[in-house]
Structure 1
Amino acid sequence: MTSSIKDATEANSGGIQTFEVTKFSSIQIVAYVLSLIVTFIALYLAVSGGDVINPASRWIFGLLFFNFAVISYFAIGLVGQISKLLKQGKEAKTGARLHIYYVRLFIFAAAMPAILIAVFSAFTIGRGVQTWLSGQVASAIEATSSFGKETIQQTSDAARVDILAMASDLNAAAAQYSSSPNIYRSYLTSQTGRRGFVAAYLYNSNGAIIEKVERPTGAPAPLKPKPEDFATARAGDVYVNIDHDLIVRTLFKLNGYQDIYLQAVRLPKPEQLRLVQQAEQIVGAYRLLETRQTQLQVVFALAYLETVLLVAIGAGWLGLASATNISMPIARLASAAERVRAGDLSVQVSPDYKLGELTTLILTFNRMTTDIQNQRDAIEKSRIQAETRSAFIQALFEGVSAGIISLDADHKILAANSAAARLLDVSMPELFAKGLFEIAPEFAPIISDVTRNVGAQGHVERLTGNRTLIFDIRATYAGNDLVVTFDDISSQIAAQRQAAWKDVARRIAHEIKNPLTPIQLSAERLASKFAKEITTDREVFVKMTDTIVRQVADIGRMVDEFSDFARMPAPRFELADIGEIIRQAVFAQKITYSEIEYIVQLPPEAILIEMDARLMVQAISNILKNAAESIAQAEMETTTRPHSHKIEVKLNLEINSARIEINDSGVGFPLKDRNRLLEPYMTTRSKGTGLGLAIVARVMEEHGGSLILADRQDGQAGGSVIMVLPIGEKTNSLQGVVK
């Protein structure tokens, strides 16, 4: 029926459903115009009438019914389009509701005046027809009809009288008819003119003209009487015939003649003829109108109904077309706005519209989306740069070994790196859940001293697991947030102390060892030279000299240890079996401490590691010696029950390291300041020098390993020393060598 146009612009790809707009084709526009013309022609014919097409004739009805079919076609199309728009409106297609509103508005604005005019016209025409057919008009029509009849009757009577008089005179002159034909013709002409006739004819009963007299001009053609006319005349009556033009023809039988009939013809007066004709037309029109009153009203009603429908249909399609010019760009704007909402800022709406305001609105929308796109690109670029910087800062944040924690005004943790949780020996969720001061209350005094202008710094000791760590803490404000950084400096301090003790040991060994030899030699010479000469308290003298020699020897051994600690040689690495080294160290200790049971658990295969075998044997021997001394001290302190004498040595091979675990049944290690036992001259025994563990720690450090002092994991009394040695690629490739 119509061509369908769908909003297929670039804005329509954003997911919004748009309406469909239909429009007339060229043929339909021509058909609509012709339908209007046919309606007006039908109205004109119904009002004007005519000789060819009378009012309310079948031609008018045919035109109107055909036109109504055409109008119904357009009406069905409009109703279908409105129904489609209603359906699309329910489906929330953009612009459909606006179209419906405009169609309703246009139809109402156009149809209401047409309906009012139609109702008014139907009322006035109906009243007019009723007025035409009212009693007064009917009386006037009847009077006009009577006037015409009377005029005709008077004309007929006058002609009757005149032809009887003329017949009487002609009967008197019947003798001249045969004897003097010319005189008789002259007499007939005289009688015709004197009686007011324009022609006179003498007929026989067969209808043949025997004699005639006609006026030179204006006489009508002779009209042969009909048989019934002759019959009326033979009966002695005058036959009078008045035709439509009021020409009077009379026929009378002349009794003075043998089978002769007189026909006289008279013309009407022009004024009389006009009045009679008008009266006849008026009466005829009135009679026709009276018989077709209902048909005429139907014609007018149908014509006005078609007019209203055409106006309403035209207004509806005009509303659709006008609404399209408004709602189509609005629909495209809505679709484009939906795409913008979905994040597509590249959408542009075509501004090719006739309405300047809508074009301005669309151009403004396009500029807005362009500006937003540029701003978003700038924001996205800034975001990428910020993410890059953030990733860099995060990598830096996570890459540092120090712990970093950001606190808000209420000292709640805003951010923290993994090093902070590792140093505090907690998980990240636990760190955020509990807070810094609950986990590490030792930090509070230093952090509380910080101000916005001046930061705070200090060292604290914190027990973490089995180790006492020393933390260097720094706190400062970054905006409104408080940033706390802390690091474990236990190893640094231990290294500093070890370096300091090495220097002290070297000085002590140098300053003390030099006079020890003269002292020892002098004491020995005194004992050998003067022991026999002393008679009184000789035993005391010998005992004192022996004491001097023994103490000098002890001091010498201590000085040797100082010297060894200060001059510990650099390790010489080579592949060696760590299991065999453990066996050598255990064997040497078994000889010295035979009362102790040694339990050694080693893998059956050789574990080759690059190390200095001599230093490693010394280190393991020191640990075993300390374990034996710890067992002896525990035996002296335990008096209520027997004490076990047992040392367990285990070697476990892990992924990248070898783990030597030595467990004893001694007194164990103190919980506080446990790690300080690895520093020089730190000992818990009265006769210890405090260098054994320091030397072991240094050996492990030289080998890239670690030394851990802990409690036994099986819950029994005693201590546990864990020595961890790294295993390199070369070492791994040599695994599997069986001893």
Structure 2
Amino acid sequence: MRDCVSGIKAQSTLDTQIAGRLASGEMAIDDTALLASEIPSTGLSTVGITPNTEPFIKRAPRIARSALFGVAFVSAMFVTALGAILSFSDVEPQIDQSYELLRANLVLILLLAIYLGYRVWGTLFAAERRRTAPLLHRRFVFIFSLAALLPAIIVGSFSFSFISQNLNDIFGNDVRDNMSQASAILEDYVDQELSDLGEDISDLSSALNAQPRDILNRISLTAELQIQARVRDLDSVYILSDQGDVLARVESPYAPAFRVPTNGVLQSVVNGGVAYQKRDDLDYLIALTPLPGFANAYLYVGRGLRSESQVLSSISGIEAATLSLQNFNRKQSKMRTIFLLTLIETAFLIVMASIWLGLLLGNRIIEPLGRLITAAERVRAGDMSVRVDVGGDWGEISDLGGAFNRMTQQLDFQRHALVKEHDISEQRRQFSEAVLSGVRAGVIGLAQTGRITLVNNSAEQLLGVDGSALLDAPIDEVLSPFAAAFKKGRESILATAEDQVSFEIDGQIRNFDLRVSAYQGPREDTGWVLTFDDMTRLVAAQRHSAWREVARRIAHEIKNPLTPIQLSAERLQRKYSKEIKSDPQTFENCTQTIIRQVGSLEQMVNEFSAFARMPAPEMDNVNIQMLLEAVLFEQGVAFPQIKIYQKDKPKTELTVWADERLITQALTNVFKNAGEAVSRIAEASGDENFQGVIRAEIQEDDGQILIRIRDNGPGWPVTDRSRLLEPYVTTRESGTGLGLAIVKRIAEDHGGTLSLTDPSAGEKGACVELRLPKRSKDLPLEHAR
């Protein structure tokens, strides 16, 4: 008990140290597991803050982890702000950088959230049994987290929805449709200009092909090209070879730098036709066609869209607006993703900061409560000397600590008084239990209502029941034979009653002497004690003694006249049998009847005498197997029509400490009764094929020798079976009722038992079990007579 209390005190002191270190910030949140193995050397009488005396070398890894977490947290905040700033740039590479930066930062924030969740779990859940007020601490963290998370979710959701809706309104379907129509108009204008340019190049090609070849040289060709260029408003005219070399050229000041057509363009007009297009980098239209009149030559012309034209200004504006719209549509999805990432990361950072703040503030608030809880736990464990030291000005909590200290002081005084009274009561209880367990009589405690409250060991053994099954049960339901005596006691003025009852237990009739009395208490709540003794052996001994005296007197009174009666009948038979002439046969029958009945009476008298003068056993080591085999042989000769045998002979020698003559007599009586019972049923059935069987078994069972004899006779009666073991009780008309009584007497004189049982299921007949203790000559039978 002292070791148990010491263990509880050590655990309570450990709880105090953990609470103090967490509250004071001297210990990290997940350090409670490290203190589980700390065992204080002495008990504390005052609960307060325990200083952290742990070496710095052991605390360094935890300090480093906390510092690393703080640096990573600040870095995540900075990266989130930087990503949000870069996302507002018009430069697309910066937007892409912002997107990738925020994605990488989200991974960092998730790692920080996992680490913080692990530490919170270790603080509030995994180490719950070693912390004080874990539920309150949990609620602090939950409230702070909820207070930060709900506004972040609400504001973020509204902001994201608002921006998305405004973007859709500004650059909605109407704007896209208008821009599409403007682009279509622009394309139609450019197509028309290209068509005109195509007609001009075709006319120019026809004109050049119509000129005589012999008068055309480079100079005259150039001059012709200048005339045609002015007439047709062309900014540039070129004659190219199939290799792309310029054979002749005419360029106006507005013409851009010459650009050789690609091989694909040249090949597209080899077989005729016109190829024309608009240069993407300039507002300039070009066209290409072959010159059939010139060997492997092509006509290449260009015309610019005039800057003084109002259409050109509109075309430039439409192109710029279309390009801006396309760029925005391409960036819109990524901008939304960046904005969503920014909101999520900001919400995560705010929640993590709130959880961290909740832990720190929770420690500060729970510190005095933790001291009080730890002190209360120590009081619950039985340490009434504990006092709460609430340092600082905590207001009502300090008042609560003072009230707690006054309460524990008063409880300490009362506890000492109660312990003293308890010790006295415990001594009385132990004395009463020792008395109850030591007495041989059965004792049952009863409430006023008859409910059983106490059953001693002797009562369990005498009744053959489990005492726990009787507790709290009404006596009239579980021990109805005792209920009448209890009722008499309650109705008696003297509150006491005595009675004798008999009932069957384990197949045997048991006789009990009862006494019911009340013990001191109010009449309406009086307790009752029922004591009883097993008088079965005493009653049986008295009955046997009486029957032995009767048998002795009957044998004495009857045996004396039997001899002269028998002699007189024999003399009459010898002397007068020849002289009687009128009816000699009747005379012979009468004398024979007298002689036969006298013999039967003499045999009965001998049995009475044997029962009355049972000799004391002369003990010795007896081989019970050999003795059984001899009896089996004798009974086989006496009852040849019955199959008498032994089943499963033991492989080892079985020896008992017994009187060989008395054991032989007991076994002979059992086999004789079985043989006569089987013969009677064979005669009564009239079945010539009926085979009587008597089977014997012998084995060692729980330190005893068990001899079991079974037959297929009529069996035992269902009621009053145990009375067959009493003297002069028999079911046969001609029986004396002494056979089984003698066997029982012999078994009891050897410290054994005799039982009348039924055979196994499916078998008919009777079974007798004779148990003899297996003793050596070094352990003589205590009650052998």
TM-score of the pair, normalised by structure 1? 0.50
TM-score of the pair, normalised by structure 2? 0.47
The higher radius of gyration belongs to 1
